């Protein structure tokens, strides 16, 4: 009987190949907000309190007795940040491993292909979620596909970057609503078989059900909040600085209606303005509130439109990431509090510009994000029901902002 390749030997080879610097360089490529947001990797315990002073004591008056009689004190709130989890898996068959038993370099190339793919999928999941509200929604339907159709058309074609062939999808009528029991003719899940990235359309392996309607939200299977009260995905920019002034519902334990700007960020409607004027308007609103925006993240279509609008006045620069030696192409724009770097990011929502003071943001995780889930020191595990070996990746964490009022969501045309 042939002796199988020792799993310990395989594990050691992978450990040597996946040095930390290599993982970092690959992960941060083409995910600017993910790369540039400050990171804290020691988010242990049950939660992380994030206190915010949003009003000073108002015991003052031109009249001594009146001021002394006032009872106002400092107003504070405390967000209680909690972690969410996300996972990705790579599977390598035993036959593939055995076929390269006498050529370790070839084996590593095969393993790298699978593990890089799993790592990239998890990274994109996190990078996209960092822009969104935690609901898991990654796009909406622009039209009713009709009964028995297999092609879905997105309401905004730029969201097509969030989808991949082979991805399993769920659908719901709202971002936080219950998953439709009948998404396709075969149940509540559809698998993507083809994508037309120019047209912004997705083709499923089976036809849709009559329940599906225009405006429905799409989710990768397992990500939807599904009518529950807790988000399963990272709560990103859209959660901390929503499109509409936040209501009284608790956001990480905080009712933000006491001051919807300082507790829930700024909103600037620039949809009727030229793009450069919209960005300056958003930056001025932040500056009025005491913030100093340093970066503005937009989708590539918006970045291209800005280049065209500025013409010969465009000034290019390089936006540098904090944690690794990586830079991203940017346009420098003079704002009321200094230069703002406009950075294109494929993960950014279409027709939205995020005017951010970057030192108010952080990605807080328990360990690296993403990382190998190998507390037992085994990066490759035998699969119990197949002739294959599994690699598990994941992260635990969330995004936090300690001064929402120093940031702005700018709506664009």
CA neighbor of 243 nearest in space, from 342, 161, 344, 354: 354
Residue 95: how many CB atoms within 10 A of its CB?
9
**% of the chain surpassing 90 pLDDT:** 73
Residue 335, burial from CB neighbour count under 10 angstroms (0-12, 13-18, 19+): buried
- 212 and 107 in contact (C-beta within 8 Å)? no
Q: What is the 3-state secondary structure (H, E, C) of 97-158?
A: HHHCCCCHHHHHHHHHHHHHHHHHHHHHHHHHHCCCCCCCEEEEECCCCCCCCCEEEECCHH
For residues 27 and 111, the model is more confident at 111
Residue 9, pLDDT score:
43
Report the alpha-carbon distance of residue 290 to residue 295 in Å, rounded. Answer: 16
Q: What is the pTM of this model?
A: 0.89
3-state class of 302 per DSSP?
helix
Stated as kind and residue range, the H or E segment containing 308 is helix 300-310
pLDDT (tens digit per residue) in 105-150: 454 466 777 888 899 999 999 999 999 999 999 999 999 988 788 9
Report the alpha-carbon distance of residue 334 to residue 276 in Å, rounded. Answer: 10
Encoded tokens for 103: 């050529």
Q: What is the 3-state secondary structure (H, E, C) of 205-247?
A: CCCECCCCCCCCEEEECCCCCCCCCCCCCCCCHHHHCCCCCCC
pLDDT (tens digit per residue) in 287-324: 999 999 999 999 999 999 999 999 988 998 989 877 67
* Beta strand pairing call for 361-365 and 381-382: unpaired
- 61 and 67 in contact (C-beta within 8 Å)? yes
CA neighbor of 394 nearest in space, from 413, 375, 412: 375
Residue with tokens 């790369």: 35
Encoded tokens for 239: 């959660």
Position 5 pLDDT exceeds 70 = no
- 151 and 202 in contact (C-beta within 8 Å)? yes
Residue 27, pLDDT score:
64
Residue 334's DSSP bridge partners are 339
Residue 100, pLDDT score:
61
Q: What's the mean pLDDT when you consider all of the chain?
A: 89
- 231 and 219 in contact (C-beta within 8 Å)? no
Mean pLDDT of 250-265: 96
pLDDT (tens digit per residue) in 262-293: 999 999 999 999 999 999 999 999 999 999 99
Classify residue 253 as left (phi > 0), alpha (psi -120 to 50) or beta: left
């Amino acid at each position: 009987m042939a002796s199988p390749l020792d799993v310990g030997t395989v594990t050691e080879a992978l450990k040597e190949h996946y040095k930390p610097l290599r993982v970092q360089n690959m992960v941060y490529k083409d995910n600017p907000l993910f790369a540039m947001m400050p990171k804290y990797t020691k988010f242990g315990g049950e939660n992380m309190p994030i206190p915010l002073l949003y009003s000073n004591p108002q015991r003052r008056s031109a009249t001594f007795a009146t001021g002394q009689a006032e009872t106002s004190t400092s107003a504070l709130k405390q967000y209680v940040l909690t972690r969410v989890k996300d996972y990705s898996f790579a599977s390598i068959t035993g036959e593939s491993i055995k076929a390269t038993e006498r050529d370790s370099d070839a084996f590593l190339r095969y393993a790298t292909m699978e593990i890089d793919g799993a790592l990239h999928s998890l990274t994109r999941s996190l990078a996209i979620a960092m822009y969104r509200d935690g609901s898991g929604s990654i796009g909406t339907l622009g039209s009713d596909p009709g009964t028995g159709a297999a092609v879905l058309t997105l309401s905004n074609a730029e969201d097509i970057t969030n989808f991949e062939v082979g991805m399993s999808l769920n659908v719901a009528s709202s971002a936080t609503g219950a998953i439709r029991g009948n998404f396709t003719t075969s149940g509540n899940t559809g698998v993507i078989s083809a994508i037309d990235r120019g047209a912004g359309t997705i083709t499923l392996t089976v036809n849709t059900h009559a329940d599906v309607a225009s405006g429905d939200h799409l989710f990768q299977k397992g990500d939807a909040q599904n009518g529950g009260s807790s988000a399963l995905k990272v709560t990103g920019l859209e959660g901390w600085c929503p499109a509409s002034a936040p209501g009284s519902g608790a956001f990480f334990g905080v009712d933000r209606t006491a001051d919807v700007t300082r507790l829930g960020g700024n909103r600037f409607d620039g949809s009727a303005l030229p793009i450069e004027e919209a960005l300056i308007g958003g930056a001025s609103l932040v500056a009025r509130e005491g913030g100093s925006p340093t970066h503005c993240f937009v989708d590539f279509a918006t970045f291209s439109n800005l280049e065209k609008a500025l013409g010969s006045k465009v000034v290019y620069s390089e936006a540098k990431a904090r944690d690794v030696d990586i830079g991203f192409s940017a346009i420098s724009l003079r704002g009321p509090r200094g230069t703002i770097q406009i950075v294109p990011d494929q993960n950014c929502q279409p027709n939205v510009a995020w005017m951010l003071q970057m030192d108010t943001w952080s990605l807080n995780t328990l360990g690296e994000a993403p990382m190998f889930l190998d507390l037992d020191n085994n990066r490759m595990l035998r699969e119990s029901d197949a002739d294959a070996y599994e690699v598990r990746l994941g992260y635990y964490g969330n995004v936090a902002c300690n001064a929402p009022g120093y940031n702005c969501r700018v709506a664009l045309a």
